Chain A
Amino acid sequence: MYESVLRDPTPELASLLRPRKAPPVSLEGKTVALMDIAATRNRPIPAPHRCR
Chain B
Amino acid sequence: MSDISESKHLAHEAMEDGYVLFVKEACETCAMLRPVYQQLLSAGLKLKVFVQDDPAFYEGLAPVDDTRLESSFRHDVETVPTLIKIEGGREVGREFGWQRDAWQALTGQADLGASLPAWQPGCGSKSREPGVYEHLVEAFGDTGLQARRIEVDHWDDPVERCYDRGWSDGLPVVPPTDARILRMLSGTSRRPDEIVGLVPPNLAPCSVEKVAINAVLAGCKPEYMPVLLAALETALEPVFTMHGLLCTTCFSGPIVVVNGPIARRIGMNWGINALGQGNRANATIGRALQLIIRNVGGGIPGELDRSTLGGPGKYTFCFAEDETDPSWEPLSVARGIAPGKSAVTLFQGDGIQGFIDQRSRTPEELTRSFASALVAVGHPKLAQFTNAMLVLSAEHYEIYRNAGWDRQRITAELHAACVRPAEDLVQGAHGIGEGIHPSRKDEGGVPKFWDDGLLIVRAGGQAGLFSAILCGWTGGRFRDESQPVTREIKE
If over half of A's interface residues share one DSSP class (helix, strand or loop), that class is named, otherwise mixed; here it is loop
Tell me which of A3-11, A26-34, A44-52 binds B. Answer: A3-11
Chain B: which residue is nearest A12 at the CB level?
B148
Interface residues of B in 1-30 (CB under 8 A from A): 1-2, 5
Tell me which of B203-211, B239-247, B380-388, B459-467 binds A. Answer: B203-211
Interface residues of A in 1-41 (CB under 8 A from B): 1-16
Instruction: Flag B90-111 by CB within 8 Å of A: 1 or 0 each.
Output: 0000000000000000000000
Q: Is the CB of A4 within 8 A of B217?
A: no
Contact of B148 among A1, A4, A7 (CB under 8 A): A7
Given A10-B295, A10-B296, A11-B202, the answer on whether A5 and B213 have CB atoms closer than 8 Å is no
If over half of B's interface residues share one DSSP class (helix, strand or loop), that class is named, otherwise mixed; here it is mixed
B132 within 8 A of partner (CB): no
Within 8 Å CB of B153, what residues of A?
A: 4
Chain B: which residue is nearest A14 at the CB level?
B148
Q: Considering residues A1, A3, A7, A13, which has the most beta carbons from chain B within 10 angstroms of its beta carbon?
A: A7
Interface residues of B in 178-207 (CB under 8 A from A): 178, 181, 199, 202, 204-206
Given A2-B157, A3-B158, A3-B175, the answer on whether A9 and B152 have CB atoms closer than 8 Å is no
Chain B: which residue is nearest A1 at the CB level?
B154
Q: How far is the CA of A12 from the CA of B177 in the complex (A)?
A: 17
Chain A: which residue is nearest B159 at the CB level?
A2
Contact of B151 among A1, A5, A9, A10 (CB under 8 A): A5
B214 within 8 A of partner (CB): yes
Within 8 Å CB of B178, what residues of A?
A: 5, 7
Within 8 Å CB of B181, what residues of A?
A: 7
Given A1-B2, A13-B147, the answer on whether A7 and B152 have CB atoms closer than 8 Å is no
Within 8 Å CB of A9, what residues of B?
A: 147, 167, 176, 210, 213-214, 217, 291, 295-296
B161 within 8 A of partner (CB): yes
> Number of residues in A with C-beta < 8 Å to the partner?
16
Q: How far is the CA of A16 from the CA of B206 in the complex (A)?
A: 19
Q: Is the CB of B177 within 8 A of A3?
A: yes
Q: How far is the CA of A15 from the CA of B150 in the complex (A)?
A: 9
Q: How far is the CA of A12 from the CA of B153 in the complex (A)?
A: 21
Interface residues of B in 129-148 (CB under 8 A from A): 145-148
Q: Is the CB of A5 within 8 A of B147?
A: no
Q: How far is the CA of A14 from the CA of B146 in the complex (A)?
A: 9
Q: Is the CB of B206 within 8 A of A8?
A: no
Within 8 Å CB of B149, what residues of A?
A: 5-8, 15-16
Chain B: which residue is nearest A15 at the CB level?
B148
Q: How far is the CA of A34 from the CA of B419 in the complex (A)?
A: 72
Within 8 Å CB of A10, what residues of B?
A: 167, 204, 295-296
Within 8 Å CB of A7, what residues of B?
A: 145, 147-150, 176-178, 181, 213
**Cβ distance B132 to chain A, nearest Cβ, rounded Å:** 16
B325 within 8 A of partner (CB): no
Q: How far is the CA of A5 from the CA of B214 in the complex (A)?
A: 15
B162 within 8 A of partner (CB): yes
Q: How far is the CA of A9 from the CA of B1 in the complex (A)?
A: 22
Within 8 Å CB of B217, what residues of A?
A: 9
Within 8 Å CB of A8, what residues of B?
A: 147-150, 213
Q: Considering residues B1, B145, B148, which has the most beta carbons from chain A within 10 angstroms of its beta carbon?
A: B148
Within 8 Å CB of B152, what residues of A?
A: 2-6
**Cβ distance A8 to chain B, nearest Cβ, rounded Å:** 5
Q: How far is the CA of A14 from the CA of B148 in the complex (A)?
A: 6
Given A1-B2, A11-B205, A11-B206, the answer on whether A6 and B146 have CB atoms closer than 8 Å is no
Q: How far is the CA of A52 from the CA of B161 in the complex (A)?
A: 36
19 contacts between A and B (CB under 8 A): A1-B154, A2-B152, A2-B175, A4-B154, A5-B151, A5-B177, A6-B149, A7-B148, A7-B149, A7-B176, A7-B181, A9-B295, A10-B295, A11-B202, A11-B210, A13-B146, A13-B147, A15-B149, A16-B148
The 5 closest A-B pairs by CB, nearest first: A11-B204, A7-B147, A1-B154, A9-B295, A9-B213
